[in-house]
Amino acid sequence: MAILDVKDIRKRFGNTEVLKGISFSLEQGQVLSIIGSSGSGKTTLLRCLNFLETPDGGSIAVNGQVLFDAAAAASRREADIRRSRLHFGLVFQSFNLFPQYTALENVMLAGRLLAKEQPDYKARKKELLDQLDQRARALLDQMGLSSRMDSYPHQLSGGQQQRVAIARALALSPDILCFDEPTSALDPELTHEVLRVIRSLADQRTTMIIVTHEMAFARDVSSRVIFMDGGQVVEEGPPSQVLEDPVQERTRRFLESYHQSDRFTGP
């Protein structure tokens, strides 16, 4: 059974239809890359999956459980949406770390607040907090940040901040981790360290959806690639097909424009 089933997601802002019926599914441990030019709807799709936007149509199911169905969207309560969000993690282009908390506190905050909702929180407080602390430290360690746990975001480089953000998203053990152009705000050197971390997550079979402009990385790390244009899935398949031998003319043109800009900026 697919871990994620997205059916016919539609979204419009005013008169503009940004998503015109997106469907795809994802298996446990797969990495899906979504490519496409700016304005193709990639980011809106991720935001719909994380319920930062409410789709106008379609449904989203995780592990067979329907989390969202546009037909019943009006009756959804804030608390249900909150619980649905926990199935997904999202790493933003601009990191969005909480500036007043240290790296470690950033990773622990949401877990600590969720722990308080457990009925036996008072009795097991110390045990629960110790667990959270250990997990947060282990994640930061895995991100190569064991020496920066007590640093505040402004004391970290962009690459370090993004790695803290990845640890923060992983701390809640989401079923699917989403990345929205995770390296677009970084220079090439820092891009590399973030991509290395994402690759190691792929090696550990973390289910991920990555919106990216890093074609070489997408080819390398993805199990599947979706090319989006004008709010639709134009082409979908293994990276060897979509990125190297696309069937659709539109995909080919997009990739060509990429290679051309590579030639301009390349060494």
Partner 1 sequence: MNLMLQQFPVVFQALNVGFLQTLKLFFVTGLGAIPLGLVIAFGSMSRFKPLSALTRLVIWVVRGTPLMIQLLIIYYFPGIELHNNWWGGGESGRFLASSIAFIFNYACYFSEIYRGGIQSIPKGQQEAGLVLGMTRGQIFYRVTLLQVIKRIVPPMSNEIITLVKDTALARIIALQEIIWAGQSFMRGSHGISGAIWPLFFTAVYYLLFNGVVTVALGRLEKRLDYFR
Residues binding partner 1 (CB under 8 A): 50-52, 78, 82-83, 85-86, 88-90, 92, 94, 96-100, 109-110, 113-114, 152-154, 168-169, 172
Closest CA to 46 of 72, 9, 83, 13: 9
Is the CB of 78 or the CB of 203 nearer to partner 1? 78
Side chain identity at 198, as an amino acid letter?
Answer: I
Task: Find all residues with CB under 8 Å of 215, minimum gap 6, and list them.
Answer: 35, 243, 255, 258
Please list the helix, strand and coil fractions of the chain in percent, rounded to the nearest 5, in that order: 45, 25, 35
Q: At what angle do helices 121-142 and 103-115 cross, to 10 degrees?
A: 150
CB closer to partner 1, 86 vs 129: 86
Task: Work out how close the CB of 138 gets to partner 1 at its nearest, in angstroms, rounded to a whole number.
Answer: 18
Write down the least CB distance from residue 114 to partner 1, Å: 6
Rank residues 119 and 188 by Cβ distance to partner 1 and give the closer one. Answer: 119
The values of phi and psi at residue 109, to 5°, are -50, -55
Q: State how far the alpha carbon of 246 is from the alpha carbons of 109, 218, 227, in Å.
A: 44, 15, 10
CB of 230 to partner 1, least distance (A): 25
Kindly tell me which of 89 and 246 has the beta carbon lying closer to partner 1.
89
- In whole angstroms, the minimum distance from the beta carbon of 97 to partner 1 comes to 8
Supply the minimum distance, in Å, between the C-beta of residue 101 and partner 1.
8
Residue 6 vs 46, nearer CB to partner 1: 46
Q: Which is nearer to partner 1, 143 or 215 (CB)?
A: 143
Q: Which is nearer to partner 1, 1 or 113 (CB)?
A: 113
CB-count exposure of residue 134 (10 Å: 0-12, 13-18, 19+) = exposed
Q: Which is nearer to partner 1, 114 or 138 (CB)?
A: 114
The dihedral built from the CA positions of residue 103, 107, 109 and 115, taken in this order, carries a sign that is: negative
| Of residues 245, 180, 139, the one with CA closest to residue 42 | 180
Query: What residues form DSSP beta bridges with 24?
Result: 6
Least distance between partner 1 and beta carbon 84 (Å): 9
What does 76-125 look like in DSSP terms, one character per residue? --HHHHHHHHTTEEEE-TT----TTS-HHHHHHHHHHHHHTTSTTHHHHH
Distance from C-alpha of 24 to C-alpha of 35, rounded to nearest angstrom: 14
Closest approach of Cβ 241 to partner 1, in Å? 32
In angstroms, give the least distance from the CB of 243 to partner 1. Answer: 29
